[in-house]
Structure 1
Amino acid sequence: MEQINGNHESFSSSVNARDDELTVIRAKPTSGLSEIIALAIWLGGIHFNVALVIMALLFLPKSLTFTVLGLLVLLMVIPIDEKSKPGRRLARFICKHVCGYFPVTLHVEDMKAFNPDQAYVFGYEPHSVLPIGVVSLADLTGFMPLPKMKVLASSAVFYTPFVRHIWTWLGLTPATRKNFTSLLKAGYSCIVVPGGVQETFLMKHGSESNVYKWWKPSGKLIQQLARAIKFTPVVFWGIFGTPVPFQHPMHIVVGKPIELKRNSQPTVEEVNEIHSKFVEAMQELFEKHKARVGQADLQLKIL
C-alpha cells in the first residue's frame, strides 16, 4: 500500500468503479468543526501530555503536581477495554471526520480480490511523521470489505497516557511477533509499517508527507536511544503550531494481494524473496498511479 500526497479536484461522490477494476473511494467532507475536534483527539495526545506536565511543574503546588504525575502514571498501566462501547463510538467519530478533513481518497486496484473471510497483511509506506493514512483502512471507516482490521504500532504508543486509549479503540495494537501471529490466526487483517519508527530518521523535507512540519535530532546516540525506547523523538506541528495537520489531499493506493504459501518456518532466503516481491509490487504501484493523482514527477526512493 502506498500513500501519495498531492492536489486533486474535489468530489462529493463516495465510490467510483472503473473498467479496469480500480475502485476509488473518496471521503466526503463533513463539518469543519467536527473534523478539527476529531483530529485533535486522535493526534493531540502527545502534545496534551507535554503541556499538562509543563503546566503542572510550573504553575501548580507540589501536592497537585504529584497528583497529576501520579494520574498520568496510572493511565500508562491500567487495562483498556478495546471493545468499550463509548470508546468505539469515539473511534467511529474520529474515522468519519478525519477522512473528510484532508480529504482522503482510497484507490483499490481489485476490491473483489479481498475476501472478508480471509486475513491479509498490508504493508504501509511511508511511515513519515505519523502514518495517518492508515485511517482509510480502519474497520470503522468501512472503505475496505474487511470487518476485522488491526494496525500494528510501536509498543511505546501503549505506554502513553490518553494516546493508548484512543489508538486502542481505533484498532491499534502492539507490534510484537506474538501479537501479530495470534491476530492472523484469529482472522484479523493486519497493517504493518515495514520501516517502523526508525524510518523517520530517513525523512527529508520535500520528499515525505506534507501534512506536518517537523524537526528531528540526528546522530548515532539519538538513533540508539530511539531503538531502546522504540520511539523516535521527532518534534512536529501543524496548523498554528498545533497537532492538527495541514489540509492536503491524501491518496492511499492498495494493490492486488500477493499470493503466498503459508510457511511457519521460512528460511532467510525465502524471507528475502518475499521482501523483494513486496518492494517490486510497491514500485509498480507507485509508478502506475502517481500521474493520475497529479504527482507525475514524484520519485520513489527505497533505501
Structure 2
Amino acid sequence: MTKVKTQWKEFLEAVSVLQWVLSFLFLGVACIILMVYFMFTSLWPLSTLYFMWLVMDWQTPERGGRRTTFVRKWRVWEHFRDFFPVKFSHSNTCKNQLVKTGELNPNKNYILGCHPHGIMSAGAFTCFSTESCGFNEMFPGVRSSLAILAGLFRIPLLREYIMCAGLYPVSKPSLAHLLSKSGKGNAVVIVIGGAAESLASSPGVNIVVMRQRKGFVRVALEFGADLVPVYSFGENELFRQVIFSDGSLGRRLQDLFKKIMGFAPCLFVGERLAFLPYKTPVTVVVGSPISVPKRVTPTEEEVDHYHRLYMEALSKLFHEHKVSCGLSETHKLRII
C-alpha cells in the first residue's frame, strides 16, 4: 500500500527540491556577486580576508576536502528523496531508490560510473552525496564520494558548501588522492557522460556518452580500483528539454559554451513553477564490480579491454532492470 502524504509533507518536499534546483542553477553566480558586492561596501575586509583564505586553501578540494556528516544528513535531503515517488513492483528489484545487485568489498576501492547525466544528476546526488538513501547501510564499510566539475571548487563560498556535502573535483589529483591516500573502501562516483550527455537528456531517451571516454578506465587501472556500472532509471524523465539538432545555431552555441565553461546550458522546463521536476520515480541501480588489476602504466590495449567490459556490463545492467524500473521491453540503450 502507498502511504498518503499530507499537504504539509508535500509542501516540504516541493520546497526541498526547489531549493536544490535553484542552488544548482544560481547559487554559484549569487556567491560571486555577493563577494564582489562586499568589496565595495564597509564589509570589504570580510571579502579580503576570505580571498586570502581562498589562496591558502586552494588545493584542499583535491586533497580530501572537508566532508561533514552533518550536511549529508540534513533532513531536507530526506524530503528531497521523498519528492520522487518510490516505484513498487512484484519483483524485489526496484522497491527502493537505490538498488544493490552485487557486493562491494570494503577492503577495495572502486570507481562507480553513473549514467545518464540527465539535466542535474538528481539520482547520483541523492544516493551518493547524501545519507538519505542508505548507501552506508547497503554497502557497509564503503564510503561514496561524488566527483563533479572541478571549476565549481573555484567559486568562493560555494566551494565550502559543496565540500561539506562530500563533493570532490573530477580531476586527476583529486581522484588519485581518493584512491590512494584515503585507505580502502572508497567508492568514487563519476557521471561519465558529463555535459555532452546532458544535452541528450529527454523523456524516453536512453543515450549514454562514453565510447570515447576512457580516462576513468585508465585511472582505475593505475590505482587498481574495480569498475562498477550504475544506471539511474528515470533521470531523463525529470525535465522536458528543448533539443537542438546537430549543426543548428542553438546547438553550436551550446557546444561553444560547453567548451569554454565546461558545462552546457540546457533549455528545460519542469512540471510546476517551471523549475520543479516531474514526479517521476528515480531508481539508481548499482551493478556488480568488474575486477581491475593495478597497472602503473596501463597499455592502450588494457584500457580498451576494460572499457569494453564496462560497456558490456552497463548494457547488461540496463536490460536486466529496465522493465522492473518502469521501462518497456522495447527500450534500448544507445552508447555513443
Q: What is the identity, as a one-letter code, of the residue corresponding to 1:31?
A: K
After superposition, residues 108-147 of structure 1 pair within 5 angstroms as 108-110=100-102, 113-134=103-124, 135-138=126-129, 140-141=131-132, 142-143=134-135, 144-145=138-139, 146-147=141-142
Percent of residue pairs bearing the same amino acid type? 23
The residue aligned with 1:210 is: 237
Residues 149-205 of structure 1 show CA distances to partners (whole Å, capped at 9, x for unaligned) of 211111233245665444322221111011111101113210011212222233345
Q: How far apart, CA to CA, are the structure 1 residues paired with 2:263 and 2:311?
A: 25
Answer yes or no: is 1:41 the counterpart of 2:19: yes
- 1:38 to partner: Cα distance: 2.8
Question: 1:147: how far off?
Answer: 4.2
Q: Distance in 2 between matches of 1:89 and 1:164?
A: 16
CA shift at 1:47, angstroms?
3.9
1:2-151 paired onto structure 2 within 5 Å: 10=2, 31-49=9-27, 78=54, 83=66, 88-93=69-74, 94-103=76-85, 105-110=97-102, 113-134=103-124, 135-138=126-129, 140-141=131-132, 142-143=134-135, 144-145=138-139, 146-151=141-146
Distance (Å, rounded) in 2 between the aligned partners of 1:162 and 1:246: 30
Which residue of 2 is the match for residue 277 of structure 1? 309
- Structure 1, unmatched stretches of 5+, are 1-8, 13-29, 57-62
Structure 2, unpaired ranges of 5+? 87-96, 207-235, 245-249
The 1:237/1:49 distance shift into structure 2, 3 A limit, reads farther
Moved more, 239-248 or 129-138: 239-248
Indicate whether 1:183 and 2:178 are aligned. yes
Report the Cα offset of residue 255 of structure 1. Answer: 1.1
Structure 1 residue aligned with 2:216: none
Would the alpha carbon gap of residues 50 and 117 (structure 1) be closer, same or farther in structure 2, given more than 3 Å must change? closer
Say whether 1:247 aligns with 2:317: no
CA distance, structure 2, for counterparts of residue 214 and residue 50 of structure 1 = 22
Equivalent pair of 1:157/1:164 in contact (CA under 8 Å):
yes
Deviation of the 1:117 alpha carbon:
3.4
Residue 211 of structure 1: how far off its partner (Å): 0.9
Assess if the C-alpha contact under 8 Å between 1:45 and 1:162 holds in 2: no
SS at match of 1:107: strand
8 Å Cα contact 1:155-1:230 kept in structure 2? no
- TM-score (norm. length: structure 1): 0.73
- Structure 2 SS opposite 1:123: strand
Q: CA RMSD in A?
A: 3.8
Q: Structure 1 residues 201 and 66 mapped into 2: Cα distance closer, same or farther (>3 Å)?
A: farther
8 Å contact kept, 1:46–1:163 = no
- How far apart, CA to CA, are the structure 2 residues paired with 1:183 and 1:50? 25
Matches of 1:216 and 1:34, distance apart in 2: 32
**Structure 2 Cα separation of the partners of residues 179 and 51 of structure 1:** 24
Q: CA deviation at 1:253?
A: 1.1
| Distance change (3 Å), C-alpha of 1:40 and 1:92 | farther
44-53 or 135-144, which moves further after superposition? 44-53
Following superposition of structure 1 onto structure 2, how do residues 230-245 of structure 1 map, counting pairs within 5 Å? 230-245=262-277
| Letter paired with 1:301 | R
Contact 1:154 1:174 in 2 (8 A): yes
Deviations 1:119-173 (A, max 9, x none): 2111100011121111223462332324422111112332456654443222211
Which region of structure 1 is more displaced relative to structure 2, 113-122 or 219-228? 219-228
Query: Which residue, 210, 216, 227 being the options, matches 2:259?
Result: 227
Question: Structure 2 length normalisation: TM-score?
Answer: 0.67
